[in-house]
């Protein structure tokens, strides 16, 4: 008997996912020259494409060349050549599954040593205690900058479709720009983008409208949303419920639920909320509540590594199971589940008491595994987090030098391409 896990899912745009397993977005930080997808990313996605997932969602692709989550971030703006993205789309669809591009703007979550801009809804910096200086100090966006950013999301989505991707996922979670606008802690504006939830959701809704208008009806449009920020006074599950209802009339196919931010990194399994610790499917309790009222199909991501957990998630009413870390360790895990097998190994846990540093090390561990897969070697999930962190820092330093050299060229190219 075929389990529901391996049954197709038809979306409102008409696209059909082959099964209910998705590779969720993980920030690869693997851009080649010119902040473009290169050989490493192509090899990584070819490997995932043959692993059995019905959907692959890329790590975040930046809509603004001057605002990156990391120095090796991929940029798809009006000036980027399309050919590398066409090759990426071919690689990611080589196994017959669907491929969506996650599109994102970091807002205030930009490292302090990065060139470019650090924008936010308000001039409220990221609070990481003694690590706060890692991020730049944000300036509050003007209405013109907000409108230009909405337009950038639409440009990136339209170009993703031209390149052969099957959909986009608008990133409005994990404390990035659209999530910052949603949060009453980060968003202290008193104009049309601040105050009430309707106002705080305005930028996200405008982005979704602009994206939907820029792509064809058959192209999938999804949104990644926090089920909660896990911060007192922040965006909570009731807010998420209302935002999902606001998204429904706008032609959204799916909402992926996650949680947390750099300030409360629930997405790496170290949240402030004790309910979500010490088990898989970190956000399942909140998802169960949201499923009851959601007019849109939901995808749940966060800590799922075993088939029985995935089956429980689907049994709760969630339409799609998202996995990140598990597929960085075992890229063929969906295929294994189909054959009645499980993963052989898990990623070594990070037990450091410093929450912010532990989260950074966890992400470094995952990227270390992705780089190994991209080189054609096997993952080594037992890698010590300190070693992975040092390797990551060296990679970032080299990438930062390349990005600093490239950005002025990009700015000049963009200025030339725009009419006076």
* pLDDT bucket at 283, cuts 50 / 70 / 90: low
Summarize pLDDT for 169-182 with one digit per residue, the tens: 999 998 999 999 99
What pLDDT, on the 0 to 100 scale, is given for residue 1?
33
What percent of the chain is predicted at pLDDT more than 90?
A: 77
Instruction: Give dist(CA 106, CA 69) in Å, integer.
Output: 6
Letter string b/e over residues 35-55, b meaning 16 or more CB atoms within 10 A of that residue's CB: bbbbebbbbbbbbbbebbbbb
- Could you tell me the CA-to-CA distances from 397 to 195, 279, 325 in Å, in that order? 39, 35, 24
Question: What pLDDT is attached to residue 301?
Answer: 87
pTM, full prediction: 0.92
| Closest listed residue to residue 187, CA positions, set 171, 170, 200 | 200
Average pLDDT over residues 145-169: 98
pLDDT band at 415 (very low <50, low <70, confident <90, very high): confident
Residue count (the chain): 420
pLDDT at 288: 81
pLDDT value of residue 228: 62
**Cβ–Cβ < 8 Å for 284, 304:** no
Report pLDDT for 279. 45
Q: How far apart are CA 320 and CA 130, in angstroms?
A: 38
Could you write out the three-class secondary structure of the chain?
Answer: CCCHHHCCEECCCCCEECCCEEECCCCCCCCCHHHCCCHHHHHHHHHHHCCCCCEEECCCEECCCCCCCCCCCEECCCCCCCHHHHHHHHHHCCCCCEEEEEEECCCCCCECCCCCCCEECCCCCCCCHHHHHHECCCEECCHHHHHHHHHHHHHHHHHHHHHCCCEEEEEECCCCHHHHHHCCCCCCCCCCCCCCHHHHCHHHHHHHHHHHHHCCCCCEEEEEEECCCCCCCCCCHHHHHHHHHHHHHHCCCEEEEECCCCCCCHHHCCCCCHHHCCCCCCCHHHHHHHHHHCCCCEEEECCCCCHHHHHHHHHCCCCEEEECHHHHHCCCHHHHHHCCCCCCCCCCCCCCCCHHHHHHHHHHHHHHHHHHHHCCCCCCCCCCHHHHHHHHHHHHHHHHHHHHHHHHHHHHHHHHHCCC
Res. 343 pLDDT band, cuts 50 70 90 = very high
pLDDT band, very low/low/confident/very high, at 127 (cuts 50, 70, 90): confident
Report pLDDT for 282: 55
Q: Would you give the distance in Å from CA 17 to the centre of its chain?
A: 19
Q: Are 302 and 267 in contact (CB under 8 A)?
A: yes
Tell which residue, 177, 353, 369, has the closest CA to residue 270. Answer: 353
For residue 31, give Cα distances in angstroms to 41, 111, 306: 7, 17, 31
Q: Please state which CATH number belongs to domain 4-417.
A: 3.20.20.70
Higher-scoring residue by pLDDT: 382, 126: 382
State the Cα–Cα distance between residues 17 and 53, nearest whole angstrom: 9
pLDDT: which is higher, 279 or 6: 6
Structure-token match 């963009």, residue found: 414
* R_g over Cα of the chain: 20
Where does the pLDDT of residue 229 fall: very low under 50, low under 70, confident under 90, or very high at 90 and above?
A: low
Q: Name the residue ranges covered by the structural domains of the chain.
A: 4-417
Residue 281: the pLDDT is: 57
Q: What is the pLDDT of residue 2?
A: 45
The encoded tokens of residue 94 equal: 């080589």
What share of the chain has pLDDT > 70, as a percent?
A: 90
- Residue-wise pLDDT for 188-204, tens only, equals 999 999 999 999 999 99
Of the two residues 189 and 1, the one the predictor is more confident about is 189
Tokens standing for residue 71: 């120095």
Q: Where residue 276 falls among pLDDT bands split at 50, 70, 90?
A: very low
Compare 272 and 139 and report the one with higher pLDDT: 139
**pLDDT confidence bin for 266, thresholds 50/70/90:** very low
Please report the pLDDT score of residue 271 as a whole number.
41
């Amino acid at each position: 008997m075929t389990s529901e896990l391996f049954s197709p899912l038809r979306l409102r745009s008409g696209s059909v996912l082959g099964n209910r397993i998705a590779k969720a977005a993980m920030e690869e930080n693997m851009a080649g020259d010119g902040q473009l997808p290169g050989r490493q990313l192509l090899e990584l996605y070819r490997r995932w494409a043959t692993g059995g997932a019905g959907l692959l969602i890329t790590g975040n692709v930046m809509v603004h060349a001057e605002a990156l989550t990391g120095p090796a971030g991929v940029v798809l703006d009006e000036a980027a050549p399309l050919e590398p993205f066409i090759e990426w789309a071919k690689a990611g669809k080589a196994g017959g599954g669907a491929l969506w591009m996650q599109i994102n703007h970091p807002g205030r979550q930009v490292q302090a040593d990065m060139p470019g801009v650090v924008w936010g809804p308000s001039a409220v910096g990221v609070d990481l205690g003694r690590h706060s200086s890692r991020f730049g100090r944000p300036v509050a966006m003007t209405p013109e900058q907000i409108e230009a950013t909405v337009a950038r999301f639409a440009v990136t989505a339209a170009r993703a479709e031209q390149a052969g991707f099957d959909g986009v996922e608008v990133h409005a979670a994990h404390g990035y720009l659209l999530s910052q606008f949603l949060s009453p802690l980060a968003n202290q504006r008193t104009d049309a983008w601040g105050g009430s939830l309707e106002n705080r959701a305005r930028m996200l809704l405008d982005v979704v409208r602009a994206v939907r208008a820029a792509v064809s009806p058959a192209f999938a449009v999804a949104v990644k949303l926090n089920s909660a920020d896990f911060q007192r006074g922040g965006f909570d599950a009731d807010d998420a419920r209302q935002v999902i209802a606001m998204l429904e009339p706008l032609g959204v196919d799916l909402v992926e639920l996650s949680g947390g931010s750099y300030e409360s990194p629930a997405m790496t399994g170290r949240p402030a909320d004790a309910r979500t610790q010490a088990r898989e499917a970190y956000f399942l309790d909140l998802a169960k509540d949201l499923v009851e009222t959601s007019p849109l199909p939901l995808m749940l991501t966060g800590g799922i590594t075993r088939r029985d957990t995935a089956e429980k998630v689907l049994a709760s009413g969630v339409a799609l199971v998202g996995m990140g870390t598990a597929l960085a360790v075992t890229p063929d895990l969906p295929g294994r589940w189909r054959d009645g097998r499980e993963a052989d190994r898990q990623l070594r846990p990070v037990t450091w008491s410093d929450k912010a540093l532990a989260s950074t090390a966890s992400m470094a561990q995952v990227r270390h595994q992705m780089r190994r897969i991209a080189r054609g070697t096997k993952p080594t999930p037992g890698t010590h987090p300190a070693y992975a962190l040092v390797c990551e820092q060296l990679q970032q330093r080299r990438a930062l030098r390349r990005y600093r050299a490239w950005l002025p060229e990009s700015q000049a190219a963009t200025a030339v391409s725009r009419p006076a």
